Amino acid sequence: MTNKTKKQVAIIGGGPAGLMAAQEAIKAGLQVDVYDAMPSVGRKFLLAGKGGLNLTHSEAAEPFVSRFGARSGEIGVLLKQFGAAEVQTWAQGLGVETFVGSSGRVFPKDMKAAPLLRAWLHQLRVAGVRFHMRHRWLGWVDTASESVTAGHHLQFATPTGDVTVHADAVVLALGGGSWARLGSDGAWVSVLQQQGVQIKPLLPANCGFDVGWSGYFAEKFAGQPFKTVAITVQSNDADDSEYSVKPRFQKQGEFVATTTGVEGSLVYAASRWLRDDITAMGTATFYLDLLPDRTAEQVLAEVRHPRGSRSLVSHLKSRLKLDGIKVALLHEILGKDALHDAVALAAGIKALPITLKAARPIDEAISSAGGVAFEGMSSALMLKTNEKLPSGVFCSGEMLDWEAPTGGYLLTACLSSGFATGQGVAQFLAP
């Protein structure tokens, strides 16, 4: 078929989900055009790979799927088509060898995102995908007219003025609400709501939180890490004696103190529960174990050990190797009486309550939760039609209502949903 007779597919958003949708749609013999508001595609993808591109995770399918929480069922269906193993095979097909790190995470051997993106874009261009940069999607033109029922008339703002594009099918891969400067600004929410699309509010995910440190603690310790610690988020219906038995979240790792609160990998991993608690109750609390490699009994015995003329700081450093930011945090959280009560101090070392006042703004978050509800879509991720929205609109990537921790899960789900929409478009436009 010539370009004039080929069915036209407009993919709006040039991140991993959009590019994967383009890859699958072009294989079906469709004419594929990718539109992006930024000067180049894959900007958030490149930023994510700055410290080493985490492609996916090597853990077994069942725990992998469980990382998607309330949306495990929907994401699990997508991962059966294109999951962690397929991500590695795809990367190798682009000439990028991968390896599994000690944490189970999968990386390119050179740890870089740019070579993979360059190879991918070259492959797509050779296949016939056309790219249109600095095209900001504004919505549909005259969606009430009969002419649009035969396809989609899409409006874009460009540096030279607004343009209208016709497409037989549309893939929206516009990202979530974090890192607006890289293109994921959530501006699409109001556009789709006007078309009657069901959307859950966008919320920060994998985010930091505000605590409200004292001026002294913020000035002296902002930017310093808490290393080899553990966090517990107790169950909503558990009392204090049960939280360690039935925690919603419990994990060892590290995080960082900020001027206003906390951030870093361990906090991000717990952020889903902490954010939801703040929404429901106004605050959230996690319990910090400053010495996860020691039992409560061992800690109490060392705290009770006679310290003679030594200061408390010297005693904790000598007996438990506690110093620096960890001791400072004990002073920040515990009252004077607790610091000089062996039982209370030992309990604080093993389960120090850290109360969070607010999640940091969504634009600072690594990713976002919320988005287009799966209930308003087909299994191929096509939006259900209504009086305002014609058929043939697919959604993909982080703009869908799901969230996951860092560790390769985010990127895998974006690629997987892009694969599903690309194949869904091909099936929708099949003769």
User: How crowded is residue 186: how many other Cβ atoms within 10 Å of its Cβ?
Assistant: 21
Residues 200 and 214 in one domain: no
Contact indicator for 357, 117 with CB cutoff of 8 Å: no
Q: pLDDT tens-digit profile of 122-171?
A: 999 999 999 999 999 999 996 454 444 468 999 999 999 999 999 999 99
Residue that finishes a domain, picked among 312, 333, 359:
359
Q: pLDDT tens-digit profile of 361-418?
A: 999 999 999 999 999 999 999 999 888 888 999 999 999 999 999 999 999 999 999 9
Residues 54 and 134 in one domain: yes
User: How sure is the predictor about 237, in pLDDT bands with cuts at 50, 70 and 90?
Assistant: low
Residues 54 and 198 in one domain: yes
pLDDT at 332: 96
pLDDT over 70 percentage in the chain: 95
pLDDT at 50: 81
pLDDT at 307: 87
pLDDT at 148: 41
Cα–Cα distance list, 217 to 30, 50, 108, 270 (Å): 59, 30, 39, 23
Residues 151 and 279 in one domain: no
The DSSP element (H or E) to which 99 belongs, if any, is strand 98-100
Read out DSSP for 373-414? -GGGB-TTSBBPP-SS--S-EEE-GGGBS----TTTHHHHHH
Tell me which residue of 262, 256, 252, 261 sits closest to 229, measured CA to CA. 252
pLDDT over 90 percentage in the chain: 87
Cα–Cα distance measured from residue 141 to residue 120, given in angstroms and rounded to the nearest whole number: 32
Q: pLDDT tens-digit profile of 344-372?
A: 999 999 999 999 999 999 999 999 999 99
Q: Which residue has the higher pLDDT, 28 or 243?
A: 28
Length of the chain counted residue by residue: 431
Tell whether 3 is covered by a domain.
no
Q: pLDDT tens-digit profile of 10-45?
A: 999 999 999 999 999 999 999 999 999 999 999 999
Mean pLDDT across 177-197: 92
Residues 223 and 99 in one domain: no
Asked if the model's pLDDT at residue 325 lies above 90, the reply is yes
pLDDT at 219: 97
Domain containing 47 equals 8-204+369-428
Residue 429 DSSP SS3: coil
Q: pLDDT tens-digit profile of 79-113?
A: 999 999 999 999 999 999 999 999 999 999 999 99
Tell whether 148 is covered by a domain.
yes
**Number of domains the chain contains:** 2
Residues 198 and 309 in one domain: no
Cα–Cα distance measured from residue 302 to residue 4, given in angstroms and rounded to the nearest whole number: 79
pLDDT at 239: 47
Asked if the model's pLDDT at residue 289 lies above 50, the reply is yes
Contact indicator for 261, 212 with CB cutoff of 8 Å: yes
Taking all residues of the chain, what is their mean pLDDT, rounded to a whole number?
93
Tell whether 268 is covered by a domain.
yes
Tell whether 107 is covered by a domain.
yes
Residues 48 and 194 in one domain: yes
Looking at this protein, which amino acid is placed at residue 338? Answer: A
Mean pLDDT across 212-236: 95
Tell whether 78 is covered by a domain.
yes
Residue that finishes a domain, picked among 332, 359, 386:
359
Residues 248 and 112 in one domain: no
pLDDT at 347: 97
Mean pLDDT across 4-10: 87
pLDDT at 3: 53
Residue 317 DSSP SS3: helix
Residues 155 and 61 in one domain: yes
pLDDT at 240: 47
- Taking each helix axis from N to C terminus, what angle separates 296-304 and 312-320, rounded to the nearest 10 degrees? 130
Q: Which domain CATH number covers 37?
A: 3.50.50.60
User: How sure is the predictor about 340, in pLDDT bands with cuts at 50, 70 and 90?
Assistant: very high
Burial of 177 (0-12, 13-18, 19+ CB in 10 A): buried
Cα–Cα distance measured from residue 242 to residue 249, given in angstroms and rounded to the nearest whole number: 13
As given in the structure block, the two tokens for residue 113 are 């995102």
Rounded to the nearest 5 degrees, what angle is found at the Cα of 180, between the Cα atoms of 110 and 90?
A: 35
Tell whether 1 is covered by a domain.
no
Tell whether 320 is covered by a domain.
yes
Residues 327 and 404 in one domain: no
pLDDT at 242: 44
Residues 338 and 400 in one domain: no
Residues 346 and 400 in one domain: no
pLDDT at 213: 97
Q: pLDDT tens-digit profile of 251-282?
A: 999 999 999 999 999 999 999 999 999 999 99
Phi and psi, residue 291, nearest 5°: -135, 70
Whole-structure pTM value = 0.91
Tell whether 400 is covered by a domain.
yes
Cα–Cα distance measured from residue 10 to residue 109, given in angstroms and rounded to the nearest whole number: 34
Residue that finishes a domain, picked among 305, 334, 359:
359
Question: Running DSSP on this structure, what letter comes out for residue 187?
Answer: T
